[in-house]
Amino acid sequence: MDARMKILDVSGPYREPREQVFSYDYSVQRASWPTAQAVRVKVAIPEELDVVRSKILGDVVGTPGQQLMISKCLSRHIADEKIRIAEADGMLSERRDTVIPPFTGPLSHLFARLDAWAGEQRDTLRAEIKKLVGL
């Protein structure tokens, strides 16, 4: 049986109340599931987004609008990678709605994979941001 996960839809980013995170809602499906399931991926602004942004861009300045576009672009790429990491780690194997929290605290061991991915994708993400924002 085909156990691969397929992402049907993504919406967001949403700003979570009382948390410094952006979240994305994914609709995921496996061939063995009768219906799609929801997965909410949270991207911590100071611990994940800001760290990846500085790794990719260094100390980049720009207008508030440019910074917003950069945050939106990078947070989506981070969320996409976090769902791949969670899938590889077996966090999405059960058929139920799931929240993937920030890779801090008890899940801080997963941040190393996210950090390695940011290093590998640095040039690609820089080029995309330059095309999108003009920095």
pLDDT tens, position by position, for the chain (135 residues)? Answer: 456 889 999 999 999 899 999 999 999 998 888 888 999 999 999 999 999 999 998 887 788 889 999 999 999 999 999 999 999 998 888 878 889 999 999 999 999 999 999 999 999 999 999 998 887
* Per-residue pLDDT, 8: 93
Q: What is the pLDDT of residue 14?
A: 94
User: What's the pLDDT score for residue 96?
Assistant: 82
Distances in Å between the Cα of 134 and the Cα atoms of 55, 60, 67, 76, 89 are 18, 12, 11, 19, 36
Domain extent, residue 127, equals 5-133
Q: What are phi and psi of 10, to 5 degrees?
A: -135, 135
- Look at the chain and report how many structural domains it folds into: 1
Tell me what pLDDT residue 1 has.
Answer: 44
